[in-house]
Amino acid sequence: MLNKLLFVVLLACNVQAYATTTEAPAHAREAAADNYKAYCMQCHGTQGNGKGVNIRDMSATPRDHTDAKSMSVRSDETLFKVIKEGGSSISKSILMPPWEGTFSDEEIRDLVQHLRVLCKCQFGS
């Protein structure tokens, strides 16, 4: 029981620490924008609007990352998971590849922040 309680308390602290993390520094933001251009744009489009050059051959349409409405229902944790582990990790298309072999966790977190810039949205807003 006490263990359980401690776990919940620790979890709450963790969530708070995550939520109060300040924005990524400028160099990390630029690196994320570059990574997006190099690795995501061919499917998600130059503007991040889901209209990349690949899509005419694809059965699932890549997410429009500029769509605040659909992006704000996703928490940062979910976006992190789908980038790291691929579409199938959140029951989405396998056409969204997993990137864990390409990016470190930190780079993935910066990509999530980049997505928040593209959608001009936050989770739940």
Residues contributing to the site for ligand HEC (CB under 6 A): 39-40, 42-44, 54, 58, 60, 62-63, 74, 79, 82-83, 87, 92-93, 95-97, 99, 111, 115
Tokens 């061919």 map to which residue?
Answer: 42
Counting every residue written for the chain, the total comes to: 125
Using CA of residue 55, residue 56, residue 59, residue 60, what is the dihedral sign? positive
State how far the Cα of 111 lies from the Cα of 28, in Å rounded to an integer: 9
Least Å from the CB of residue 10 to ligand HEC: 28
How far apart are CB 4 and ligand HEC at their closest, in Å?
A: 32
- Of 66, 76, 68, which is closest to residue 109 (Cα–Cα)? 76
Q: Of the two residues 26 and 101, which places its CB atom closer to ligand HEC in the complex?
A: 101
Q: At its nearest, how many Å lie between ligand HEC and the CB of residue 51?
A: 12
